[in-house]
Chain A
Amino acid sequence: MPSRVRRSRLPGFGLSLGITILWLSLIVLIPISSVFVKSVSQGWGAFWAAAGSPRALAAYRLSFGAAAIAAAVNCVFGLLVAWVLVRYRFAGRRLLGALIDLPLALPTAVAGIALTAIYADTGPLGRLLEPLGLPIAYRPAGVVVALTFIGLPFVVRTVEPVLAEVSSEMEEAALTLGATRLQTFSKVILPTIAPTLATGFALAFARGAGEYGSVIFIAGNMPFKSEIAPLLIITQLEEYNYAGAAAIACVMLVISFAVLLLLNLLQHWQARRHG
């Protein structure tokens, strides 16, 4: 452990902190603040007219709603994948583990056209689902599929390390007390990892709500129906309505920051629970 009382004698503090703050301000902070300034540049009335228009509300509902559904699906299956990766040894385990990060490495536009090729009515899955009355592509269901693809690594990577640390003593105690394996899972393991699962949900949700590239090819992009909020921002920009685009971006930023804040509180709570 480094000594906390002794002051650092290393050189370069001023230079490195200076670069950090300058670069952070130029690339991130000043640009982000431009959204807030621009969004109210034509008064609050104009802000609400743009940010709260029926078309914008429909777009938020789709972006955040689909992100929530996709994150929930990934909480179930991501937990299953994490469980299998942590607890079992089987052929292909390492390959499975490496594959989980594919959505982070694969460019979103590539994911978008690939998912569309699969779920369109001529694709290998679309062809099977369409006759069952379950069309996916070019409607909100397609948005959910794309966001499920994007969100999986966030849940798996968050849950994995905590699942590995669930103490076997607790599980043994439950066993000794006569609990079945399923009871042990639902009454001992699940409550222990619940905050972690919530963190994974929030990360996948935040990423999904702002997602653009993987969604636009499969979504259909019909205003009021299958138009996501980031696409509406681009539409506003193309109409040279900068203030309107900024107002919608502002709403999305505020919601993302709220999720981020919640996430930090959650992690703080987790750290305290684990002592």
Chain B
Amino acid sequence: MAPAGLRERPFVKALLIAGAVGYVGLLLLLPLGAVLTEALKKGLDVWLAAISTPDARASIKLTLIVSAISVVLNTIFGIAAAWAIAKFDFPGKAPLIALIELPFSVSPVVSGLVFVLIFGAQGWLGPWLEAHDIHIIFALPGLVLATLFVTFPFVARQLIPLMTSQGRTDEEAALTLGASGWQTFWHVTLPNIRFALLYGVLLCNARAMGEFGAVSVVSGHIRGETNTMPLQVEALYNDYDFVAAFAVASLLTLLALVTLGLKTAIEWRHRDQLAAQH
């Protein structure tokens, strides 16, 4: 235990805790409460009706499709990138990692814009796509591309430091014992990284389902067709249909809370298997 002079006096400590709890309560907890109370303002029946309209159901389905595709593709990419970067020595690793993390520092709106500039009606490939009747912008492929961009670094960035710290002795032992490359990956590497992988996938999925700015640019806002759940929230809100907007928003809030709960559970139980060991 630290000597008395290294600790704050009890009332100072109580004051600091109260300040921190007050700040977080006011800034974070209050909006959380606002979503749930606004959504249930007119009762459970109205809430249920609001989330089961055809447009709301279509937006839920679209969100699930877009996030499923994006998460699977970026998980495959993340594992490949971490395998190359962590298990081999080659020049230019640091810039490569910086480029992988680049989407984190790009505005969501710009993340959507880039695909409009390429595939939009007046984009590079616009005329060619139109001539061949291929729809990317204002359609599912555009939503997937924008989501892929914003969720690009999540899995890779979780795995790279962990796999680098684990080194390659385990894999080399497996190979020496006669395992094939894939066997080594499935039976040695994957069990070593499973919690970090789960963690990365969880965060990737939360962002994919909740993304707003990037998909807003490429969606075209066609109700029942190209509106994901966050876009449906905006559409309902702009119609002054606040209860319905908050009802759909409450589903997304539930997703956020489940994500936070799982994330925290992994952090508590498997902290040692999550980050690079010092």
Contact = CB atoms under 8 A, between A and B. Distances in A.
A binds B: yes
Interface of A: 1-2, 4, 7-13, 15-17, 19-20, 23-24, 27-32, 34-35, 38, 77, 80-81, 83-85, 88, 90, 92, 94, 96-111, 113-115, 117-118, 123-125, 148-149, 152, 168, 171-172, 175, 181, 206, 209-213, 217, 229-231, 233-234, 237, 240, 242, 245-246, 249, 252-253, 256-257, 259-260, 264
A51 B103 CA distance: 22
A96 B24 contact: yes
A154 to B, nearest CB: 11
B48 interface: no
Given A12-B83, A12-B181, A256-B107, A172 B3 contact: yes
Contacts, number: 291
Contacts of B253: 106, 110
A110 B210 contact: yes
Given A105-B259, A233-B113, A252-B110, A175 B84 contact: no
A103 B212 CA distance: 14
A252 B109 CA distance: 11
A234 B259 CA distance: 30
Given A28-B99, A118-B34, A234-B217, A17 B84 contact: yes
A77 B115 CA distance: 38
Q: Is the interface of B mostly helix, strand, loop or mixed?
A: helix
Given A10-B87, A17-B84, A28-B103, A109 B230 contact: yes
Contacts of B90: 17
Contacts of A229: 107
Interface stretch (B50-58, B127-135, B165-173, B190-198): B165-173
Contacts of A231: 109
A257 B83 CA distance: 27
Contacts of A206: 105
Given A99-B28, A175-B3, A35 B249 contact: no
Contacts of B185: 12
A1 B115 contact: no
A42 to B, nearest CB: 12
